[in-house]
Amino acid sequence: MFMAKRNPKLAKAGSPDVMTIGEAADALGVSEMTLRRWHKAGKFVPHVHPISGYRLYKRSDVMKLRKRIETGRAA
């Protein structure tokens, strides 16, 4: 799956380029726990804020994965 690398220049949550774990889960049709499991397994790794530890997902990565899920090509 897509791997969003840790990027210190990644915009803050609330930016149109970044999604919170809840927003990403809604867009993908999965639970937040599923995204946490994918992160732990290295399947879909978000940027992790260095202070808060919040997972932030690049909108473009989420939309690419969503398209793969919709077309049945995600594995």
Cβ-in-10-Å burial (0-12, 13-18, 19+) of 35 comes to buried
User: What pLDDT does residue 44 have?
Assistant: 95
Please give the class, per CATH, of domain 18-71.
Answer: mainly alpha
Contact 65, 28 (CB under 8 A): yes
pLDDT band at 74 (very low <50, low <70, confident <90, very high): low
pLDDT at 5: 47
Q: For 13-69, what is each residue's pLDDT tens digit?
A: 557 899 999 999 999 999 999 999 999 999 999 999 999 999 999 999 999 999 999
